[in-house]
Amino acid sequence: MNTIDQIRPNDDIDTDIRLDLYRRQVEIRDFEQRAYDLFLQNLVKGTSHLSLGQEAIAAGFAVAMQPGDKSFCTYRGHAHTLARGVPMEAVLGELMQRDNGLMRGKGGSMHLTSVEHGVMGSYAIIGAHLCIANGSAWRAQYLGDPDVSVCFFGDGTTNIGAFHEALNLAAVWKLPVVFVCENNLYMEYTPIGDVIPVEHPAADRASAYNLESIVVDGNDADAVYREALVAFDKARAGHGPTLIECKTYRHSGHSRADPAKYRPEGELDKWKERDPIFVYRSRLQEFGIGDDAIAAIDQASKDKVEAATERCKASAPPPAEILTTDVYADGGWAWRN
C-alpha cells in the first residue's frame, strides 16, 4: 500500500497500476538483455532490434489499453509484444527459431504476431503498418466495436509518404486510432534532426492534419500512461485520432550489427541518467513503495527470463513439414488465380 500521507502533484495513479508499470518495464529490459546474450552465443539467429532504454513507452500504453485494443508495431516490436501479455517463452522461442515460438519459429524477430493478445503484427516495411492500423480502426468504427488501434513507429517514419497519408485519412474520417512516434533521435544511423526542418518530427507536423501537437517524456511511464488514457478516451468517444511523440533514446545501436559509433561522445551516458527503469524505481520509492516489494518484482522478472531461456533451449526447431503452411489465409501455399 502507498504509505505516503501527503498528497503529491503526481499522486493521480493507483499503486497497483504503478507496480504494473514497473513490472512490465523490468520484464522487457531483462528479456531483451537476455536476447542479446543469446545472440552472442549464436542462439538467436540473424539480427534483431532492441528497445533497451525505450521500455516506458511500451509499458505506459499497454497498461492504458483495454482488452480488445489492437497494437501495430515496427520491427522493434519485442517490447510491445511482451507488454501486451504475450508469454516470454513464446517470444524468445520465436527469436531462437524454436518450435515453441509464437509462430513456431517461422516469423522471427521482426514479425511477432499474437491476435489473441491484440498484437496485430510487427512490420519490417517502414510506415506500412500505419495504413493497416487505419483499416483496423475503420473496421471498429463501421461495426461499432469499442476497440482502439494503436500504431507505434520510429522518428524516421515521419518522412515516409504513408505517415502523411495515414494521418490525413484518419483525421478526415475521425478514425479511432492513436499514432505513437517513438522518437529516439536516430533513424538507422542518421540523426533525425539532419533530415527534417522542424524540431519535433511528428508533433510539429500534427497541425497540418488539424491534430494537437503532443510531445511527452518517453522515459517516464507515468507521463506516457496519462497521455495514452486521454487519447484512448478521445478515440472511444468518436472524436478521432491522436498523434503522440514520445521523446526517448535507444541504449544500443539500431540493430545487433550496429555499434552506434556515430553518436557523439557522452550522449549515451547523459541519456542513461534518465534510464526509464531507474526513473521509475525512484518514483516507486517516492510514493512509499518499499524496497522489498521492488526487489520482489526484480527477482520475479529474472526468474521468468531464466525459465523461458531453459525451455527454449530445450525446444526443438520447427519441423520441415510446416515450411509451406500458413503462406496464405487458408493455411496453405498453393497459388490461386
Per domain, the residue ranges of the chain are: 15-312
Quick: pLDDT tens for 115-136.
999 999 999 999 999 999 999 9
Q: Which residue has the cell 485519412?
A: 169
Quick: pLDDT tens for 140-164.
999 999 999 999 999 999 999 999 9
Any residues with CB less than 8 A from the CB of 217 and at least 6 apart, and which?
A: 223, 224, 246, 247
pTM for this entry: 0.94
Tell me if residue 71 falls in helix, strand or coil.
strand
Could you give the CA distance from residue 117 to residue 88 in angstroms, rounded to a whole number? 13
Instruction: Quickly name the fold that domain 15-312 has.
Output: Rossmann fold (3.40.50)
The Cβ-side half-sphere exposure at 104, using a 13 Å CA radius, reads 9
Q: What is the mean pLDDT of residues 312-329?
A: 92
> So what's the pLDDT on residue 261?
84
> So what's the pLDDT on residue 47?
82
Q: Exposed, middle or buried by CB within 10 Å (0-12, 13-18, 19+), for 223?
A: middle
Statement: residue 48 has pLDDT above 90: no
> So what's the pLDDT on residue 1?
28
> So what's the pLDDT on residue 10?
67
Quick: pLDDT tens for 261-295.
888 999 889 999 999 999 999 999 999 999 999 99
Statement: residue 6 has pLDDT above 70: no
Quick: pLDDT tens for 73-91.
999 999 999 999 999 999 9
105: left (phi over 0), alpha (psi -120 to 50) or beta: left
CA 47 to chain centre: 18
Give which of 260, 249, 254 is closest to 220, Cα–Cα: 249
| DSSP code for 158 | G
Estimate the crossing angle of helix 276-286 against helix 291-314, to 10 degrees.
Answer: 140
Could you give the CA distance from residue 285 to residue 303 in angstroms, rounded to a whole number? 23
Give which of 141, 135, 108, 99 is closest to 120, Cα–Cα: 135
Statement: residue 332 has pLDDT above 90: no
Quick: pLDDT tens for 191-201.
999 999 999 99
Question: Is the separation of the CB atoms in 271 and 247 below 8 Å?
Answer: no
Q: DSSP secondary structure string, 308-327?
A: HHHHHHHSPPPPGGGTTSSS
Q: What is the mean pLDDT of residues 225-241?
A: 98
Question: Is the separation of the CB atoms in 29 and 54 below 8 Å?
Answer: no
Statement: residue 322 has pLDDT above 70: yes
Amino acid in position 236: R
